[in-house]
Copies of this chain bind each other. A is one copy, B any other.
Amino acid sequence: MNKTEQVLAHLDAGFPAAQARWMDWLRIPSISAQPAHAPDCRRAAEHVRAELESLGFTATLRETAGHPAVVAHHPGPGGNAPHLLYYGHYDVQPADPVELWTHPPFEPTEVDGPHGKRVYARGAVDDKGQVSMWLTAFRAWVEQAGTLPCRVSVVIEGEEETGSVNFKPFVVANRDELRADACIISDTGMWDIDTPAISASLRGMTYMEVTLKAASRDLHSGMYGGSALNPINALTRALGQLKDDQGRIQVPGFYDGVQDIAAGKANQWASLGFDESRYLGDIGLSVPSGEAGRGPLERLWARPTADICGIWGGYTGPGTKTVIAAEASAKVSFRLVPGQDPDAVAEGFKAFMAARVPADAKLEFTLFGASPGLEMATDSPFMRAAQAALAEEYGKPAVLIGCGGSIPVVDTIRNELGMDCVLMGFGLDDDQVHSPNEKFEVRCFHQGARSHARLLGKLGGG
């Protein structure tokens, strides 16, 4: 038994305790978007800081202009061992609509499922679950081998779900402390529960809120209807033009810089045998949305989107209220691909709206985050080590996939710190990330932790 095998045996033996630590962390409702949960965010940060300290890290809570970040360092074995930066986030999405959860979102619950046990909770996978995997790997190495096989730095932020607006400048301000040989991130997915994956691209995102204001007060729809501007009519009229009949987004300049995917990538994706009918069938749909004339994985991984994530205005209670509201609002998320300028998309959206509302309409915008789409390097020694670790754990090669989601800070890590990122994630499509009833398969958690232990061993010569 080599050292890694001993560590894996120790990890398996201690797995119930690892799962308990993960579930304890899930009990803290660290919803970064909601100011009322700011103390919970700090508690979640302190919780993981203490855990890192117990593993021999020098671990501190660091203030930002928003929620605090956790920064920790472990010297590893010394010598020529590589230096890795592990990135993750302790914040979670809001649990709304709470009434659709079958278990309370912040009381993690273990339930039997088709793949064995699974745990339901907000953050079960995204990202407390995935961070807990590498913490579990760290513990197994420290307890079994006395140290980590690599020099390890950790940074865990509290604003990933709100665009890392304050975390990005924190990274830049602390670049010397955070720079390492490579960055390891688990915040993405597998191909399926038997097939590991490494994400070779991420979509970026520009997220905006728009409010359209009309009259100075709510109006009676009988007394004023036919004369007064209705902001909900005006908002739907403008937002209803976001896409043309072919699903092409009509924001001016939106496609500037967007490239068609290369033939090689198209062929590799086609070889994955993605079954979009089944993918949509699992969520009760049958007809793909998005741009006409594009492949299913291309639409998910390599084409930008415009999704209205929320809309509200006027009377939304039971029954009727015959009112012309004073204002109406919407939240719009644009997922971006490499080549698009996130700030230009924000400006384009403002121009799009301004060109489509009546003279009396007053528009107000809030920009909640802007990060570009990214391609990862796929030929580094760190990437090769991750592929080898996954192949050994799963008995089959990892596939290279795209990720339709966004990790805002990856751009900063790559371009400001000059580090490649390895996106080795263990989520499944049906994990209901950002939805009610988010869950993580215990098997994914366990094999993810083992994969991380293997990766450390490979990079540290163990």
Task: Enumerate chain A interface residues (CB-CB to B < 8 A).
Answer: 32-35, 93-94, 96-97, 100, 161-163, 189, 203, 205, 207, 214-230, 232-233, 235-243, 276, 279-280, 283-291, 296, 299-300, 303, 305-325, 328-331, 333, 335, 358-360, 368-369, 403-406, 429, 432-437
Minimal beta-carbon separation of A411 from chain B (angstroms): 15
List residues of chain B with CB within 8 A of the CB of A324.
307, 309
Inter-chain CA distance A307–B226, complex, in Å, is 9
Inter-chain CA distance A221–B309, complex, in Å, is 8
Inter-chain CA distance A162–B319, complex, in Å, is 7
* Contact present for A315 and B319 (CB under 8 Å): no
Minimal beta-carbon separation of A226 from chain B (angstroms): 4
List residues of chain B with CB within 8 A of the CB of A321.
33, 93-94, 96, 161, 309-310, 331, 434
* Contact present for B322 and A432 (CB under 8 Å): no
Oligomer copy total: 2
- A286 in contact with B217 given A236-B239, A238-B240, A312-B316 (CB within 8 Å): no
Minimal beta-carbon separation of A326 from chain B (angstroms): 8
List residues of chain B with CB within 8 A of the CB of A406.
222, 322
Inter-chain CA distance A340–B233, complex, in Å, is 22
* Contact present for B333 and A322 (CB under 8 Å): yes
Of the listed residues A311, A324, A369, A406, the one surrounded by the most CB atoms of chain B closer than 10 A to its CB is A311
* Contact present for B226 and A404 (CB under 8 Å): yes
* Contact present for B335 and A162 (CB under 8 Å): no
* Contact present for A218 and B436 (CB under 8 Å): yes
- A225 in contact with B33 given A162-B319, A307-B324 (CB within 8 Å): no
Inter-chain CA distance A317–B311, complex, in Å, is 10
Inter-chain CA distance A219–B438, complex, in Å, is 10
List residues of chain B with CB within 8 A of the CB of A437.
217
* Contact present for B97 and A404 (CB under 8 Å): no
Please, could you name 5 A-B residue pairs with CB atoms under 8 Å apart, sorted by A? A97-B218, A100-B218, A161-B321, A322-B434, A323-B435
List residues of chain B with CB within 8 A of the CB of A235.
236, 311
List residues of chain B with CB within 8 A of the CB of A233.
239, 242-243, 306-308
List residues of chain B with CB within 8 A of the CB of A307.
221, 225, 230, 232-233, 324
Residue A227 contacts which of B299, B306, B360 (CB distance < 8 angstroms)? B299
The 4 residue pairs across chains A and B that have the minimum distance between CB atoms: A240-B240, A222-B405, A33-B319, A216-B284
List residues of chain B with CB within 8 A of the CB of A221.
305, 307, 309, 333, 335, 434
List residues of chain B with CB within 8 A of the CB of A227.
276, 279-280, 288-290, 296, 299-300
- A320 in contact with B229 given A217-B437, A235-B236, A359-B286 (CB within 8 Å): no
What residue in chain B is nearest A95 (Cβ atoms)? B321
* Contact present for A434 and B323 (CB under 8 Å): yes
* Contact present for A215 and B163 (CB under 8 Å): no
- A314 in contact with B311 given A217-B283, A319-B32 (CB within 8 Å): yes
Inter-chain CA distance A222–B406, complex, in Å, is 7
- A100 in contact with B224 given A310-B232, A311-B314, A321-B94 (CB within 8 Å): no
